[in-house]
Amino acid sequence: MLDTIPNNVNLEEDPKLQRALLRWQPDFLSWWREMGPEGFQEDRVFLRTAVGLGAGDWAVYDYVKMPDYRWGIFLGHPRKKDTIYFGDHIGEKLWEQVPGEHRKELRRLIVTQGDTEPASVEQQRLLGKSAPSLLDLRNLFQVNVEEARHLWAMVYLLHRHFGKDGRDEAEEMLARRSGHPDHPRILQAFNKPQTDWLAFYCFTMFTDRDGKYQLCSLSESAFDPLARTTQFMLMEEAFHMSVGETGLQRVVRRTSELMREGKDPRSVGAIPLEIVQKYINEWATASYDLFGGEDSSNAATYFASGLKGRYNEIDDKRFGDHVALDAAYDLALVESGQVKHKEIPLRRAMNAVLLDDYVEDCQRGLARWNKVLEEAGLPERLTLPSTRFNRHVGAYAEAPTDPQGNPVDPAEHARKLKDWLPTAADKEYVRSCMIPVYEPGKVAGWVAPPTRGFGGKPLEFEYVLFH
Ligand SMILES: [Fe+2]
Ligand SMILES: [Fe+2]
């Protein structure tokens, strides 16, 4: 039974932990059967499976039935430094155990991160039924099994380091449900339905990318097991974001080809650029909310205690000052319909600092999509919404602005929202475009073909063998 949990964390040496995980495993599997991809559990899917940091590759590629996927527990490479390098504990030894005084915060961080992993599987569970190609279908399932492995990663930390509380939290991870009225997932973006593939591409572009930034900040943590666990997760996460970025690029390419030919995308069941822009607005802003308040005492505590660093805290030349006690952050606020600037202590602004780096990263994606429009000779451009637009968390939650972040009066805001965010009719239209295509090498009409296959296989490869 033990070899059913591949690991590089010496699970063999800890019988108590083994027993706890083996008790959790059947509950996980019934959750997967109930809430994992619906209708494809018996099919064989060409998947990447993480196997650890051995001499060879960190992953293997083969056909697997999803319930037989070998979800493992892996730590990344040892840290560059064995001492804490930011916050109030600089110079002290990294922690191998949870310090009593930071136990509550660490547990909260791990539970919040862990909860997002099964949530996204739940959000995406029906998408297989309308996949635009066999490769896309495979990519969806790759993302799903890896998110489930990330749940394993967080559950391992809870079981290993948090005793009874940790085991209870691990059970709760399988009990909450995305979008459930009484027992929802913790963070709001993970309760939003992903009912079509444009939403899926936006989610993997924007929401998985928030995941990247959260994981990166945890990979700087003074709590070494958390840092090394998240570091390994990031290797899988890179692919999820590429699914989103290239997916949106393919949508833009298809739409721009039609526009260049003078055709209305709607006339052939493709997606107009305005709708793509609205989806970007919706998912980018929901993802901004995941960073938390721009001015946050929690963020200050996490940084001070060495729990969460900035993006690339250890290496980035911008961060010469790893104490960040004397510096300030210039926060733009919207007050009585005007943008005003206020200096806040840098430690309190750590969420905003992380969000700034995230926005820059997203802009690179936008630039690539706009290149497609430019190359098609079209004047239209897509834009990333302002971090002030459509916010429900943080400094701008109560401030109505347009997508560029300019304050607008509430009545105008209410009137214009249908031009800025997808309406029910827009979503219905997008759903009507989602005609499944399962023939190897073929692609639906609303999206351009992918430019390359997966795992060294060609586009025409039979990525899913239906039973
Ligand atoms: Fe994940
Ligand atoms: Fe992901």
Q: Which tens digits make up the pLDDT trace of 127-180? A: 999 999 999 999 999 999 999 999 999 999 999 999 999 999 999 999 999 999
Alpha carbon distances (Å) from 25 to 14, 145, 151: 16, 15, 11
Residues with a beta carbon under 5 angstroms from ion ligand 2: 208, 237, 240
Cβ pair 52, 73 in contact under 8 A = no
- Phi then psi for residue 214, to 5 deg, are -65, -45
Checking if the pLDDT of 449 tops 60, the result is: yes
User: What is the 251 CA–ligand 1 centroid distance (Å)?
Assistant: 24
243 CA to middle of ligand 2, Å? 10
> How far apart, in Å, are the Cα atoms of 186 and each of 165, 190, 292, 321?
17, 8, 13, 33
Nearest ligand by distance to the CA of 147: 1
Distance CA 186, CA 154 (A): 15
Helix ranges, 203-272 (H): 208-218, 224-260
Kindly report the average pLDDT of the chain as a whole number: 96
**Is the distance from CB of 228 to CB of 79 less than 8 angstroms?**
yes
Is residue 2 over pLDDT 70? no
Phi then psi for residue 55, to 5 deg, are -70, -35
Length of the chain: 467
pLDDT-based confidence at 1, cuts 50/70/90?
Answer: very low
d(CA 269, ligand 2 centre) in Å: 29
Average pLDDT over residues 195-223: 98
pLDDT of residue 420: 98
Q: Which ligand gives the minimal distance to the CA of 215?
A: 1
What stretch of H or E contains 132? none
Closest CA to 162 of 93, 102, 89, 84: 102
- Does pLDDT of 4 surpass 90? no
* Residue 408, token pair as written in the block: 């607008």
Provide the phi-psi class of 324: left if phi over 0, else alpha when psi is between -120 and 50, else beta. Answer: left
Nearest to 279 by CA among 429, 405, 124, 422: 422
In the chain, where are the structural domains located? Answer: 2-465
Ligand nearest to the CA of 143: 2
Question: Mean pLDDT throughout 299-309?
Answer: 98
Res 54: pLDDT: 80
For tokens 């989602």, the residue is 434
Q: Is the pLDDT of residue 403 over 50?
A: yes
Output the CA 241–ligand 1 centroid distance in Å: 10
- Choose between 139 and 398: higher pLDDT: 139
What are 233-269's pLDDT values in tens digits?
999 999 999 999 999 999 999 999 999 999 999 999 9
Ligand (nearest to CA of 113): 1
What's the average model confidence in pLDDT over 403-427? 97
* pLDDT band (50, 70, 90) for residue 3: low
Two structure tokens written together for 78:
């040892």
Q: What residue type is 89 in one-letter code?
A: H
If you average pLDDT over residues 441-467, what whole number do you get?
97
Q: How many whole angstroms separate alpha carbon 270 and alpha carbon 307? A: 46
How remote is the CA of residue 211 from the centroid of ligand 2, in Å?
Answer: 7
Cα(117) to ligand 1 centroid in Å equals 5
Residue pair 167/20 in contact (Cβ under 8 Å)? The answer is yes
Q: What percent of the chain has pLDDT over 90?
A: 98
> Do strands 464-465 and 44-50 pair parallel, antiparallel, or not at all (unpaired)?
antiparallel
Instruction: Report how far residue 172's alpha carbon sits from residue 189's, in angstroms, rounded to the nearest whole number.
Output: 19
Ligand 1 centroid to Cα of residue 21, in Å, is: 20
Q: Give tens-digit pLDDT for 92-119.
A: 999 999 999 999 999 999 999 999 999 9
Per CATH, the number for 2-465 is 1.10.620.20
